[in-house]
Structure 1
């Protein structure tokens, strides 16, 4: 029996290792190609570099205007995540605590809206806001992120808030606390596990988003890092290896954040779903 269990464990470990290699291979190949010239990449993208050089990273930083794009991405991501969390948590608290009949209808509509693909609404969205002159600004982009980000965040927060005892709020009310003060001093700190999940998911979404910023931000000085990678494309060619270096630099900050907070993602979703 022990020998059989050891054999099964060994097979599982080999299978998992094989799957890990498969999943990591595109990322590893991309890293490998950042040290090549474009000619070497075109000849054989799977070959080993003739020499390891960081010239592509220097070219990427210069051509992307990396630091300006980094600051734009940081501003839009941080502000976008903060306003989504603030509005979504308050909305979820309203749905969970106030027994209005319309709340059930609004919550259902908000949840159902997550099933609508962005591609369905992007043309009317850009047409309407372009007509009223609301495009080409960070404020317009943040406003749209707020609209598209609230449903999932509200759904996640709502399940968790329902599991918080109402007695805590009643005790605070007896002590003279207002509903707003109770939310920010009692409820919001208790949302820490699910809050980490929403933060990671929204940071990954907003930081890596290309389609929506490409429709809203027209000025070069407003471009985020994903938009800046378009500078490597010309009419007749693509500078592949600096492009890969730029993509790697773009994903590195959010990848580090994900590695630091990954344990909270599944934990927070599971807690919110159960409660």
Structure 2
């Protein structure tokens, strides 16, 4: 029996290594090619660089105006995630605690909207909001992310709010707290596991998103990191070395975010799964 268990563990370890190699290989190729010249990439894209050079990183940093694009991405991501979490939690709390008949229809509409892909509304989206002069602004982009992210977040919060004991809210109301204070100081802290999970999902989605910013942000001043990286790929020529360096620069903030937040991320995902 021991030998059978040992064989299964070895097999599981080998399979895990294979999956790790599959996921690491693209990232490794991006990093290695970011150290190569354009000629070296064309000759041997899968090979090691003949010499380590950071010229591509310097050129990418200057060309894409990295610090400005990074600030735009941070503003859009932080503002969008904060709006989605706070407003969707408040909406879910309202739908659960206020027993109005229309609330069931509101939740049904929100859930149904998740079925519609963004590509189906992309053209009317640009046409309508373009006529309203609501494009070409990172502030409006955060508002659009709120609209597209509210449905899923409200649906996930809805189930968690049902599990919050009403007695806690009633005790706070007896002590003189208002509805907003009850939500902010009693209910919302209990929702921390699902809030953490949603924050992770939304940060990864918004930070890496290209399609919606490409439709909304037109001027160079408001470009996010994915948009700034895309412009290294021209119609007739592409400087892959500089483009790979730009991709690495775009990935670094997410890695730093994970390193600082990995404890909260793992805890939030585990508690969310248990719930």
TM-score (ref. length: structure 2): 0.95
Q: Partners of 2:102 and 2:267 in 1: how far apart? A: 33
Quote how far apart the aligned CAs of 1:80 are.
0.9
Give the one of 250, 256, 266 matched to 1:263: 266
Q: Secondary structure at the match of 1:164?
A: coil
For 2:62, the equivalent position in structure 1 comes to 62
Kindly indicate whether the alpha-carbon contact (under 8 Å) linking 1:69 and 1:225 is maintained by their aligned counterparts in 2: yes
For 1:31, the equivalent position in structure 2 comes to 31
Pair 1:12-2:15 in alignment? no
Kindly indicate whether the alpha-carbon contact (under 8 Å) linking 2:88 and 2:150 is maintained by their aligned counterparts in 1: yes
Q: Partners of 1:126 and 1:269 in 2: how far apart? A: 36
Quote how far apart the aligned CAs of 1:227 are.
0.7
Kindly indicate whether the alpha-carbon contact (under 8 Å) linking 1:96 and 1:162 is maintained by their aligned counterparts in 2: yes
Kindly indicate whether the alpha-carbon contact (under 8 Å) linking 1:200 and 1:257 is maintained by their aligned counterparts in 2: no
Q: Secondary structure at the match of 2:183?
A: helix
1:227-258 Cα shifts (integer Å, max 9, x gaps): 11133123310010110111111122123323
Q: Secondary structure at the match of 2:107?
A: helix
Q: Secondary structure at the match of 1:176?
A: coil
Q: Partners of 1:99 and 1:198 in 2: how far apart? A: 26
Kindly indicate whether the alpha-carbon contact (under 8 Å) linking 1:32 and 1:48 is maintained by their aligned counterparts in 2: yes
Quote how far apart the aligned CAs of 1:265 are.
5.1
Kindly indicate whether the alpha-carbon contact (under 8 Å) linking 2:34 and 2:241 is maintained by their aligned counterparts in 1: yes
TM-score (ref. length: structure 1): 0.95
Query: Superposed, which structure 2 residues align to 1:103-142 within 5 Å?
Result: 103-142=103-142
Q: Partners of 2:253 and 2:158 in 1: how far apart? A: 30
Quote how far apart the aligned CAs of 1:8 are.
1.3
Q: Partners of 1:221 and 1:264 in 2: how far apart? A: 38
For 1:176, the equivalent position in structure 2 comes to 176
Q: Secondary structure at the match of 1:93?
A: helix
Bigger shift: residues 25-34 or 131-140 = 131-140
Alignment: residue pair count = 272
Query: Superposed, which structure 2 residues align to 1:1-275 within 5 Å?
Result: 1-259=1-259, 260-261=261-262, 262-264=265-267, 266-271=269-274, 274=275
Q: Secondary structure at the match of 1:115?
A: coil
1:163-214 Cα shifts (integer Å, max 9, x gaps): 1111000101111111111001111111111111111111111111111111
Q: Partners of 2:239 and 2:225 in 1: how far apart? A: 17
Q: Partners of 2:145 and 2:109 in 1: how far apart? A: 18
Bigger shift: residues 254-263 or 113-122 = 254-263
